[in-house]
């Protein structure tokens, strides 16, 4: 996702940190996690008033590694490095930026691949389904740990944007600004359908072993690969795919076989392979489920306006014209619910060709909007 790093405006070499929370965490599903660890990174300096902290929430496949690179792997550049850094829209000379790996993740926070102390084996299928509300509760303890009473802003795109919204609803006193990008107030049937096909690909892979594949020394790479290929299609726009790949073929003549022929096939397979080699299949299941369950209006009689009444943050909501996964009308639902309550909100609809993934792209107008909004936040 990230382009080559702009070294002059990079946060530089970074080191992930871990913090263990020994207190049990009650989950929306009814179960309890006895203890958990969150893996996080920080960039910039927390000011004396502890008022300049910005939480970056990641989407389905993201991690705490938002910006910078690692000493032992300089090519591993953070997934939002184009946004976060000195002089960048989320300016680390003004803000103390925190990236955190979600609970259930596979980049260092407690998740299905973590060794469970009670059994000495990975959690696997026993890891509970976690929701966006659970993440907010888990992350609130990280804020406590860092001595941050209120975030100057919580920002995220897609599933990360949903977290930013949930933060503003669940901890109104702890969020001054919520920046909700390429998100939706809940998934449509079509969204859930895509997620379920992805899950089915994983669940039916013979190497899945009911989620306990770790013990068998295998990983359901075929299922995860197909899940990612499907997901990837939904992140790109029709026009962008047409322009980038069209019907271009790798070789001149038709082969009349099922080998890789079209460039788009080659691209998707490459993306699928790359992802399946580095991501945990159980985490993929959990993340898609968290998306499916996200619906803050549900507890308020399906009235999003009623759900938003408790928010105290100022909001920036941004959508992208070519995003068909969460199209602009979904963002306008959020805006409408906030306006109904007289909440402070700005809404920008960015004309950007890159589909759902647009929120990750350094599109000039989009970044100017973020820079303008963030620039007005007093640390």
- Residue list 261-320, contact with other proteins (CB under 8 A): 314, 316
* Smallest distance, other proteins to C-beta of residue 157, A: 17
Q: Does 11 bind other proteins (CB under 8 A)?
A: no
* Smallest distance, other proteins to C-beta of residue 352, A: 11
Beta bridge partners of 151: 175
Helix axes 281-293, 132-146, angle to 10 degrees: 100
Per-residue tokens: 119: 């059994």
* Smallest distance, other proteins to C-beta of residue 304, A: 13
Question: What's the count of helices (H) and strands (E) in the chain, helices before strands?
Answer: 10, 14
First to last CA, the chain: 29
Q: Are 205 and 218 in contact (CB under 8 A)?
A: no
Residue closer to other proteins by CB (options 58, 314) is: 314
* Smallest distance, other proteins to C-beta of residue 333, A: 9
Residue closer to other proteins by CB (options 201, 317) is: 317
Catalytic residue at 356? yes
**Residues near other proteins (CB under 8 A), total:** 23
Handedness of CA 206, 207, 212, 216 (dihedral sign): positive
Active-site residue, selected from the candidate residues 107, 177, 356, 363? 356
- Residue list 309-368, contact with other proteins (CB under 8 A): 314, 316, 332, 335-336, 339-340, 342, 344-351, 365, 368
Per-residue tokens: 115: 């060794």
**Closest residue by Cα to residue 281 from 375, 341, 210, 343:** 210
Active-site residue, selected from the candidate residues 205, 295, 323, 357? 323
* Smallest distance, other proteins to C-beta of residue 302, A: 17
What is the DSSP track for 245-265?
Answer: TTT-BSSSS--SSSS--BHHH
Per-residue tokens: 269: 């397979």
Catalytic residue at 75? no
Residue closer to other proteins by CB (options 147, 342) is: 342
Active-site residue, selected from the candidate residues 61, 109, 158, 358? 158
C-alpha span between 16 and 40 (Å, rounded): 6
C-alpha span between 291 and 300 (Å, rounded): 19
Q: Which helix (H) or strand (E) holds 333?
A: helix 328-340
Catalytic residue at 278? no
Residue closer to other proteins by CB (options 277, 372) is: 372
- Residue list 192-211, contact with other proteins (CB under 8 A): none
Residues in touch with other proteins (CB under 8 A): 314, 316, 332, 335-336, 339-340, 342, 344-351, 365, 368-369, 372-373, 375-376
Q: Which residues are catalytic?
A: 158, 323, 356
């Amino acid at each position: 996702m990230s382009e080559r790093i702009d070294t002059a405006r990079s946060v530089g070499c970074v080191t992930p940190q871990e913090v263990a929370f020994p207190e049990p965490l009650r989950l929306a599903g009814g179960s309890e996690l006895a203890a958990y660890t969150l893996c996080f990174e920080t960039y910039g300096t927390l000011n004396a008033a502890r008022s300049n902290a910005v939480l970056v929430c990641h989407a389905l496949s993201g991690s705490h590694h938002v910006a910078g690179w690692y000493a032992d792997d300089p090519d591993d550049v953070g997934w939002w490095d184009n946004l976060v850094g000195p002089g960048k829209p989320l300016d680390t000379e003004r803000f103390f930026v925190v990236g955190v790996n979600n609970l259930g993740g596979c980049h260092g926070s407690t998740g299905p691949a973590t060794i469970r102390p009670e059994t000495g084996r990975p959690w696997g299928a026993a890891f509970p389904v976690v929701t966006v509300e659970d993440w907010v509760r888990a992350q609130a303890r990280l804020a406590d740990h860092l001595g941050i009473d209120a975030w100057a802003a919580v920002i995220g795109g897609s599933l990360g944007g949903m977290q930013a919204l949930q933060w503003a609803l669940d901890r109104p006193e702890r969020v001054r600004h919520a920046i909700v990008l390429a998100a939706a107030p809940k998934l449509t049937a079509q969204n859930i359908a895509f997620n379920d096909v992805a899950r089915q690909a994983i669940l039916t892979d013979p190497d899945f072993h009911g989620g306990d594949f770790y013990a068998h020394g295998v990983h359901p790479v075929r299922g995860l690969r197909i899940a990612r290929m499907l997901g990837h299609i939904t992140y790109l726009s029709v026009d962008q795919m047409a322009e980038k790949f069209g019907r271009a073929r790798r070789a001149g003549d038709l082969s009349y076989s099922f080998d890789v022929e079209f460039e788009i096939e080659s691209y998707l397979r490459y993306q699928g392979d790359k992802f399946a080699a580095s991501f945990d299949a159980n985490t993929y299941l959990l993340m898609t489920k968290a998306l499916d369950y996200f619906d803050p209006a549900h507890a308020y009689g399906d009235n999003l306006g009623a759900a938003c009444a408790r928010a105290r943050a100022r909001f920036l909501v941004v959508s992208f014209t070519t995003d068909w996964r969460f199209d602009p009308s979904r963002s306008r639902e959020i805006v409408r619910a906030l306006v109904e309550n007289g909440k402070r909100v700005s809404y920008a609809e960015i004309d950007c060709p890159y589909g759902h993934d647009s929120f990750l792209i350094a599109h000039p107008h989009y970044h100017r909007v973020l820079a303008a909004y963030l620039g007005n936040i007093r640390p």
